[in-house]
Amino acid sequence: MQHTQGFAPAVDLSRTNGSEEAMNRLRRQIGDLQIKLDDEQSKYLENQRRLNRWRFIFFVIGTLVLIGVMVWLYNDMLSYLHARDTAHAELQAANEQLEARVAERTRDLTEANQELSQFAYVASHDLQEPLRTITSFTQLLEQRYKGRFDEDADEFIGYIITSSRRMTDLINGLLALVHLRKAGQLTVPVSFEELLEEAEISLHAAITESQAEVRHSPLPALAVDRVQLSQVLQNLISNAIKYRRSEAPRISVEAKREASNWIFSVSDNGQGFKQQFAERIFGLFQRLHGRQVEGTGMGLSIARKIVERHGGRMWAESTEGVGSTFYFSLPVSLEMSRQPRASEPPVKAMAQKG
């Protein structure tokens, strides 16, 4: 109407009774809406206040819980640290006590070993003189009166001489063992081919008598105690000759490098033994053949101790009736660049014919 007839007719119409009622209704509706809006706003504000109260309560509770957890963790950490310090102190005290006990036991063991070595040396040394007297007079008795008594007397004299010689060998073995424990090592660079040659020279009579043949592969040069390692080879070759079968002994000495060790082997075609005795034979005074073969049962024990003193080990493998192989290892760290001198003749394999 405003656009078609102008503003004045619209004003006149708004002043009529119908329009007045419409305006009143509109005002009432607007008032109702305002009341509802105020109620909603009040409820919203109340909810916000309630929510803020709960937030504050949760914050306080969370803070208290967090403080409680932190206090618990702190106390637990203090307990752990205290327990750790206590355990460390107890462990340190136990270690100190253990070290003191070990030192005491080591000292007692050292003193006992020294006393035992001294006793063995003195006993062995003091036994030699009367034993030499017995042997000398028995041999003199045999020379002067052999055949003048009956056969039993001659046999008894032979028993005395044999037993005296065996006792002499045992005493010498004990002295060698005591000396090995007490003496230091004089290590020098030496070729094992030289040591093998020395061993063969020492065993020349036994090699000749048994018609033994000793062969060897190229052997290394190591820094070792020359006398002791020569004795090792001599003991192993001597065993191969002693425990031979009816045919002539065939002995092979070889060496090969494996990782950080040189592995030496001395093989023979002798009587051999059951593998179950492979460890027992290295015991002191241990023998598998009784008195049937001459010996004291100390050679292998001494040889193993010599090898162990050089940082190696010794073991054996054998088949009864076929032969044996004795192994011993020495660290590669002992290896020397020294080779046999040009003026030294090569070691010959000794094959002796009867």
pLDDT single digits (tens) 121-161: 666 666 667 777 887 878 887 787 777 777 777 778 777 87
* pLDDT at residue 339 greater than cutoff 50: no
Q: Which domain holds residue 329?
A: 187-351
pTM to 2 decimal places: 0.55
pLDDT for the residue 233: 93
**Any domain includes 267:** yes
- Separation of alpha carbons 38 and 32, rounded Å: 10
Position 313 scores a pLDDT of 92
Mean pLDDT for 333-354 is 45
Flag whether 114 is in a domain.
no
Structure tokens, 260: 């950080």
Number of separate domains in the chain: 1
> Residue 265 pairs with which residues in a beta bridge?
254, 327
Domain for residue 290, yes or no?
yes
Is the model's pLDDT at 168 over the cut of 60?
Answer: yes
* 223 DSSP β-pair partners: 189
Answer whether residue 232 is part of any domain. yes
Confidence of residue 289 (pLDDT cuts 50, 70, 90): low
Average pLDDT score over the chain: 79
How far apart are alpha carbons 86 and 164 in whole angstroms? 66
In a domain, 27, yes or no: no
DSSP for 145-165 reads HTTTS-HHHHHHHHHHHHHHH
Is a pLDDT exceeding 70 seen at residue 101? yes
Output the domain CATH number for residue 323: 3.30.565.10
Whether 163 maps to a domain, the answer reads: no
Which DSSP symbol is given to 335?
A: B
For 145, 181, 231, 249, the CA distances from 306, given in Å and listed in that order, are 45, 9, 9, 25
Question: How does pLDDT run across 217-273, given as a tens digit for each residue?
Answer: 999 999 988 888 988 999 899 989 988 888 899 999 999 999 889 999 999 998 888
Q: How far apart are CA 7 and CA 100, in angstroms?
A: 121
As a whole number of angstroms, the distance between CA 188 and CA 2 comes to 133
Work out the burial of residue 54: count CB atoms within 10 Å of its CB; fewer than 13 is exposed, 13-18 middle, 19 or more buried. exposed
- With respect to residue 131, please indicate whether it lies within any of the assigned structural domains: no
The reply to whether 206 falls in a domain is yes
Contact 152, 136 (CB under 8 A): no
**% of the chain surpassing 90 pLDDT:** 18
- φ, ψ dihedrals at 338, nearest 5°: -65, 135
What pLDDT, on the 0 to 100 scale, is given for residue 354?
32
Of 77-91, 144-158, 247-261, 319-333, give the lowest mean pLDDT range.
144-158
